[in-house]
Chains A and B, each alone.
Chain A
Amino acid sequence: MNNKKHSDVHNRKKSAGRISVCGILCAAALVIFVAEAQLPPLLPVPGAKLGLANIITLFALLYLTPQETALILVSRILLGAVFCGQPSAILYSLCGGLLCLLGEMLLIKLLGRRFICEISVVGAMLHNIGQLCCAALITKTAAVFSYLPILVIVGAVCGAFCGFCILILDRIYGKKFMAMLKKDAER
């Protein structure tokens, strides 16, 4: 690459390095998502699952921009549905995932990253609520809302677990990841 183009790349907000970071995180989320789909359902409640892929979403939210995080989330959902052979799950996942991301984005702006564990809990609850609203719209029956209380509780438990995972992940890889991003920005 010659010098002229080099400065051009430098000025661009989305450098190749950042896009590949997004790609790596998306791949990690996909692996977690597909591996989790192999587990038998925890509870006979529609929509109740660990939601481990949310760890990556929150990690991305900590270090990347909201737009990049949304990109990772949406591509993970679309590709995950393809890999798991469940195209019907796309709508539910999108509704839940985007509502969850929106809430987490607002909370991380309002409260700061110290609250990442609590934000994970709220995010998991929001994901389940979004999914349930989508299910109610699709099946056109309000009766599915009778699962709301149990889904909120399941969301809190799973969200707390994911929150601790993020804390650990952040402690191990946070600094390395930040350094990598900085190195990319300087190049």
Chain B
Amino acid sequence: MTHKKFILLLTAVLAAAAAALYFSPSDTNGKIAEVYSNGSLVRRIDMDKLTEPLTFDVEYSGGHNTIVAENGEIYVKTADCPDKLCVNQGRISDGSAPIVCLPNRLVIKITDSPGEDKPDSVSR
């Protein structure tokens, strides 16, 4: 195995990753936000039925995340985890990538509403 071959192999892996990133399935009609703490579903929010901003706290063994859902988007407003990555991940409104807070074992993801088609309209 030469350097060239190895680098070619690595490039192939990278290309596959880039392709996966580019073509990643993002169901934009998903509007149910699910909040998991330590692997169990703690909250399900139908984003379409939300009329006013919803703020709530999720706690896991001393760690707190304050989550806000409004206007079809959900985000972590404040958190006491050390890296604040969950706050920096910003707002999500579709199923392309979940919000993850590893220190507090929190996952927020958006899935499509079961048994329903694309919503007729989204209030903003």
Contacts and interface: CB of A to CB of B under 8 A. Distances in A.
A139 B106 CA distance: 7
Contact of B17 (A41, A45, A152): A152
Interface in B26-56: 36, 38-40
B85 interface: yes
A144 B21 contact: no
B10 A118 contact: yes
Given A135-B102, A148-B20, A141 B3 contact: no
Nearest to B20: A149
B39 A138 contact: yes
A114 B103 CA distance: 38
Interface string B66-96: 0000000000000000111100111000001
A143 interface: yes
A149 B66 CA distance: 28
B88 A118 contact: no
A44 B97 CA distance: 12
Contact of A152 (B14, B97, B100, B101): B14
Nearest to B100: A46
Contacts of A88: 102-103
Contact of B107 (A41, A84, A115, A144): A144
B107 A139 contact: yes
What is the predominant secondary structure among interface residues of chain A facing chain B? Answer: helix
Contacts of B88: 41, 44
Interface string A142-183: 011011111011001000000000000000000000000000
B4 to A, nearest CB: 11
B17 A153 contact: yes
B89 A44 contact: yes
Contacts of A13: none
20 contacts: A44-B85, A45-B85, A46-B85, A46-B100, A86-B82, A121-B10, A135-B102, A140-B38, A140-B40, A141-B36, A141-B107, A146-B24, A146-B97, A148-B17, A149-B17, A150-B17, A153-B18, A156-B10, A156-B13, A156-B14
Interface of B: 1, 3, 6-7, 10, 13-14, 17-18, 20-21, 24, 36, 38-40, 82-85, 88-90, 96-98, 100-103, 105-107, 109
Q: Which 7 A-B pairs have the closest CB atoms?
A: A140-B39, A44-B88, A149-B21, A149-B20, A152-B17, A149-B17, A143-B98
Given A138-B39, A146-B96, 13 more contacts: A41-B83, A115-B6, A121-B10, A122-B10, A125-B13, A139-B100, A139-B106, A139-B107, A141-B39, A144-B98, A144-B107, A146-B24, A156-B17
